[in-house]
Chains A and B, each alone.
Chain A
Amino acid sequence: MTSDSPPPLDFAQSPINQQLTPEQKVELFTQMVRIRRFEQAGLKHYQMGKIGGFLHLYIGQESVAVGTISLGGPDDHFITAYRDHGHALAVGMGMNECMAEMFGKQTGCSKGKGGSMHFFAPDKNYWGGHGIVAGQTPLGLGLAYGLKYLEKEGCCLCYLGDGAVNQGAFHESLNLAALFGIPVVFVIENNGYSMGTSQERSSSMSSCLAQRADAYGMDWDVINGSDIYEVRAKTYIAMERARKELKPSLIEIDTYRYYGHSIADANHKKYRTPEEIEHYKKNHDPISVFRQKLINEGVITEDQAAEINKAAAAEANAAVKFADESPAPTIADISTDIYWESDNQTPASQIGRHFFND
C-alpha cells in the first residue's frame, strides 16, 4: 500500500453492523466456532469410519454462512449445495440432529435418508442441502419466486460454489431472476477450487466470477469473506434490494477451505501448496480475524473466547455421543417419505399400486 492510498473501509462502522449489540457480536463469533468444532468432530469420526459417503467440510468458510444468515428475517429463506453443515447450524439446527444424520441414524434431521449433503429444516426456512453442482440454483430461484407470488416481503439466499458458475442451470436461473424480477440473492462462496481445478483453469474471465451478472443486467458485488462485518454489510444491501425492489443480485464472497473438496479428495495438498493453506489460516481465517476484532473492541477477552471454543467442542462431542447411541433406520423406514399422499394415508394413496417391490 502506498502512503496516499485511502485506508480500507471499516465495515464494522456500516449501519447494519453498528446496530449489533455486544451480545449479538459474541453470538456471531460463537456460531462460527460451533461450526468449526462440529466439522472437526465430523472429520475425526469420518476417519474412524462412523460416517459414510462424502464429507464436504466448511472449515475456513464459516463467516459466509454465519454472516449472511444472521441478516435473515421471518420471510427470508436459504438453500445451498452439498457443503451444507455450516448453513444448517447457522439457521439454528441442532448439532445432535446434524451429526446423527451423518452417522446415518433415525434421529438425524432427514432420518438418515439424506446424509451429509442433504440437511433440511423447512421450519427454519432452510431448504437443503443439494448434491448436484448448481442443481439447487433453480430451486433457490423458485423459493424466491414463491415469496413474490405469495406476496411476502422476503428473499432467498441461494448459495453455490465457484465451480457451479459454469453450469447451465445457474445461467438459466440468472436470466429468469433478472427477467422476472425475483427476490433472490445468489451467493458464490468462492473458495478458489472446483474440486481439484483452480478458478484459473475452470472459468473464463477468472479474475471475477460475479461480473457475469452484467450479462443479465443484474447487480453484483465482491466481498472479502475473512471479515464477517464486510460479509454482513454488503450482503445486507443485496438482500434489501431483493426484498424492497424485487431485484436479484449476484455476490461473490472470497473464502477458502482448509480441507479437500471432500474428505475423499486425497489430492487436495497436490493441487495447492501447503504454504497457500498456511497463509490463509494465518492471515485470513475468519474466526481468528473476528476474534481479534472483538478483543480490540473490548467485546470479548482471550479467556472468554477460549471458553466459547471449549463449550463448542463439548457440544460437538455430545452430539457425537448422541449420534453414536441413536438407533439406525429400519428396513421398513426405507419405504416411507417417498410420496406425501402415501405417508399421510390419504384416499388418493389407496388407489392403485404405488410401490413395486417383489
Chain B
Amino acid sequence: MSRTLTYREALREGLDEELARDPNVVIMGEEVAQYNGAYKITEGLWKKWGSKRIVDTPISEAGFIGMGIGASMLGVRPVMELMFWSFHSVAFDQLVNNAACVRYMSGGLCNCPIVVRGPANGGTNVGATHSHIPEGLFAAFPGLKVCSPATPADAKGLIKSAIRDNDPVYFMENTLLYGKSGEVPDPADGDFVVPLGEAKITREGTDISLIAHGRSSIHALEAAQVLQDQHGISAEVLDLRSIRPLDQEAILATVRKTNRVVLVDESKPFGGVSAMVATLIQEHAFDYLDAPVKRVCSIDAPAIYSPHIEDEQLPNPRRIIEKVLSMA
C-alpha cells in the first residue's frame, strides 16, 4: 500500500529507518538537531534519537566533513548535511582529495562509507553563491558516487541505498521539490530501496526522448504533456536518478526507440552531466539518431538573482518545448 508523502517526509523516513537499522549511522551538520534542520529534513530526529546520533556542528564544513570521513574509515557511517551543496567549495579538499582518493591511494586498504547530502539547485533567487549544481563536477571524480532524486519515493529509496553503500555517495536534492508530494511504498510492505545506477522511464513515448535528472525531469514530464496535447508529439521521459553509476543501458534503449533526444540538465553546459550523456549516445547509438543530440541546460552564466528572470536561466517546460519543436 502506498501513501502520499512529501519529498521532505520521504527523505526523513529513509533517514529514520537507517538510523534504526544500523547503530553506526550518525547524522551531522549545521542545524540538523536542535533546530530541526534548516529545511526541516531532519525534523524530530534529534528528539527521537538523541545527541549521539544527531549532531549539530558549527559552521565549519571542511572540519566536520573531514571529521566524518575520518570516522568512516573506522566504521562509523556519517550522513552529513550540507545546508546547501553550494558550500562544497569550502570543504573541497576533504570532499575530493580525502573522500574520493583515500581508497585508491591506500591500494584498497581504506574505504569511506559516507553520505553527504543537501540541496543543489537554482531557482530560489539566492544568487550565484547559493545556486551551484555540482552533480557533474563530483561525478567527474572516480571514487565518488552521485545521485539526484526527483520524487519522494526516489528520495527515500536512494538515501537508503546511499547509506548502505560502502563508498562515498554525494546526494543532491532540491529545495523546490522538498514540499512536493508523491506516492511512497508503506514500510509495512517491506524494505523499500532504489539502487544506485538505475534510471527510470517516467513517461512512455515514441517520437523523442527527454533525458533528465532532478527537477529537470519534472519539467520534462510537464513539457511532454504539452507536446502531446498541443503538438501531437509523443515524448518519452527518462529520469536518470543516479549520475554515477549511470544507467547507460536505459539511456541507449530510449534513444534506440525514439531516435531523437533532448537532454535536460540544470547544470551549466560546459562539462555538465548532459555533456557526458551526449558523449555516450554518440559513441554507442550514433546510427540510431535521426537528428543531432540537443540540450537544454542553464544559461551559461553565474546564477542570476532577479526573481523576474531566474526561471528563464534554468531549464523549464517552455524552453524544453521550444527545443523539441526546433528539431521537427
Q: Which residues of A contact B (CB under 8 A)?
A: 77, 79, 108-114, 118, 120-122, 127-132, 135, 137-147, 149-150, 168-169, 172-173, 175-176, 179, 336-341, 343-344, 346, 348, 351-356, 358
Q: Do B109 and A122 have beta carbons less than 8 Å apart? A: yes
With A120-B110, A339-B143, A348-B161 as known contacts, state yes or no: A176 contacts B246, CB within 8 Å: no
Contact of A138 (CB < 8 Å), options: B67, B142, B244: B67
Knowing A142-B66, A176-B57, A352-B242, the reply to whether A129 touches B73 (Cβ < 8 A) is no
Q: Do A179 and B52 contact each other (CB < 8 Å), given the known contacts A110-B109, A146-B70, A149-B71?
A: no
Min C-beta distance of B66 to chain A, whole Å: 2
Return the chain A residue nearest B59 by Cβ.
A172
Q: B197: CB under 8 A from chain A?
A: yes
A138→B147 CA distance, assembly (Å): 25
CA distance A130 to B105 in the complex (A): 9
- Report the minimal beta-carbon distance from A143 to chain B, rounded to whole angstroms: 5
Q: 13 other contacts beyond A138-B98, A352-B198, with CB at 8 A cut-off? A: A118-B105, A121-B109, A128-B102, A128-B105, A138-B67, A146-B74, A146-B76, A149-B24, A149-B52, A179-B58, A336-B108, A339-B103, A352-B197
Q: Which residues of B contact A129 (CB under 8 A)?
A: 105-106
Contacting residues, chain B, for A169 (C-beta < 8 A): 62-63, 66, 93-94
Q: Is the CB of B68 within 8 A of A142?
A: yes
In the complex the two chains form, is B73's CB within 8 Å of A351's CB? no
Sample of 17 A–B contacts (CB below 8 Å): A120-B105, A120-B107, A130-B98, A137-B66, A138-B94, A139-B69, A141-B66, A142-B66, A144-B70, A146-B76, A336-B108, A339-B167, A340-B167, A343-B108, A351-B195, A351-B196, A353-B247
Across-interface contacts of A139 in B (CB, < 8 A): 66-67, 69-70, 73, 98
CA distance A344 to B111 in the complex (A): 12
Asked whether B175 is an interface residue with its Cβ less than 8 Å from the other chain, the reply is no
Contact of B107 among A113, A131, A172 (CB under 8 A): A113
Docked-complex contact A110 and B70, CB < 8 angstroms: no
A338 to B104, alpha carbons, bound, how many Å?
A: 5
Q: Is the CB of B103 within 8 A of A175?
A: no
B residues less than 8 Å from A114 (CB atoms): 104-107
Give residues of chain B (166-224) contacting chain A, Cβ–Cβ below 8 Å: 166-167, 195-198
How far is the CB of B136 from the nearest CB of chain A, in Å? 12
**In the assembled complex, B46 has its CB within 8 A of some CB on chain A:** no
Question: Is there contact, CB below 8 Å, between B66 and A138?
Answer: yes
Distance, CA A175 to CA B108, complexed state (A): 31
Ranked nearest first, the 7 interchain pairs of A and B with the lowest CB-CB distance are A352-B197, A142-B70, A138-B66, A172-B63, A352-B245, A146-B74, A111-B107
Kindly list chain A residues whose C-beta atoms are within 8 Å of the C-beta of B60. Answer: 172, 175-176
- Chain B interface residue count, Cβ-Cβ cutoff 8 angstroms: 56
Q: Smallest CB–CB gap between B112 and chain A, Å? A: 8
Q: Which residues of A contact B244 (CB under 8 A)?
A: 352, 354
Q: Tell me whether A348 and B165 are in contact in the complex, defined as CB-CB below 8 angstroms, given that A135-B98, A138-B65 are known contacts.
A: yes
Chain B nearest CB from A200 CB (Å) reads 27
Q: How far is the CB of A102 from chain B (nearest CB, A)?
A: 13
CB <8 Å contact, A168 and B276:
no
When distances are taken between beta carbons in the complex, the residues of chain A under 8 Å from B196 are 348, 351-352
Q: State the Cβ distance, A62 to closest chain B Cβ, in Å.
A: 24
Measured between beta carbons, the chain A residues less than 8 angstroms from B34 are none
Residue in A108, A337, A343, A352 with the greatest tally of chain B CB atoms within 10 Å: A352
Q: How far is the CB of A235 from chain B (nearest CB, A)?
A: 20
B67: which A residues are within 8 A, CB to CB? 138-139, 141-142, 145, 173, 176
Q: Is the CB of B105 within 8 A of A142?
A: no
Q: Is the Cβ of A138 less than 8 Å from the Cβ of B63? A: yes
Chain B residues in 8 Å Cβ range of A108:
107
Shortest Cβ gap from A297 to chain B (Å): 39
B28 nearest in chain A by CB position: A145
Find B142's partner among A111, A144, A179, A338 (CB 8 Å cutoff).
Answer: A338
Is B292 engaged at the interface, CB distance under 8 Å to the other chain? Answer: no
Q: In the complex, what residues of B have CB within 8 A of residue A352's CB?
A: 195-198, 242, 244-248
Please tell me if the beta carbons of B68 and A172 are within 8 angstroms of each other in the complex: no
Decide: A353 and B97 in contact? CB cutoff 8 A: no
Indicate whether B75 reaches chain A with its CB closer than 8 angstroms.
yes
